[in-house]
Amino acid sequence: MPKDFIKRHMPSPEKVRNIKSLHFLGNILHEPNLWHINRHSIARACLIGIFWCFIPMPFQMIPAALFALWLNANLPLSVALVWITNPLTMPPIFYFNYRLGALLLGRPTLPFDFHLSLNWISHRLMEVGVPLYTGSVIAGLGFGIASFVVVDWLWRRKIRRDWRERRKHR
């Protein structure tokens, strides 16, 4: 069952409560719905984590955690899925986002030339940033919603299969 697989790889609420650096959050981490493993909380966590992993910003885990709190999604999974974008996967994902945004906005893609100077960054920020963030939001929503639908469908399929197996054994 997907629930058993997720439980095996997720930290327990007690372990997280014992992390001293998270004590400033108080009783927020004691909310049982943030740790509950069911079809709804896991599908929402996939939507949240995958959406935020497509957004190019530092500390993506913070908005993922805040949205998990707000939408009652599984907190550890929401935060863990943000790490889909890591130093190895960021360049191709963000380049895809930039190309998608440029295509949607009808802008030509710029050739890659990077110079570490304030003038270059200020000049290219709008030229690259607008298509990058447009593509990032669209890709994040698309892949996030797709992950929500796929996880929900797979979970339902597994439950139906288990029910059929139980009926056969009766």
In tens, the pLDDT along 23-46 reads: 556 666 666 667 777 888 899 999
Res 81: pLDDT = 92
Q: Residue 56 pLDDT > 80, yes or no? A: yes
Q: Residue 1 pLDDT > 50, yes or no? A: no
In tens, the pLDDT along 118-130 reads: 776 677 777 788 8
The whole model's pTM is what?
Answer: 0.77
**Per residue, what are the HEC states of the chain?**
CHHHHHHHHCCCHHHHHCCHHHHHHHHHHHCHHHCCCCHHHHHHHHHHHHHHHCCCCCCCHHHHHHHHHHHCCCHHHHHHHHHHCCCCCHHHHHHHHHHHHHHHHCCCCCCCCCCCCHHHHHHHHHHHHHHHHHHHHHHHHHHHHHHHHHHHHHHHHHHHHHHHHHHHHC
Res 136: pLDDT = 94
Res 24: pLDDT = 58
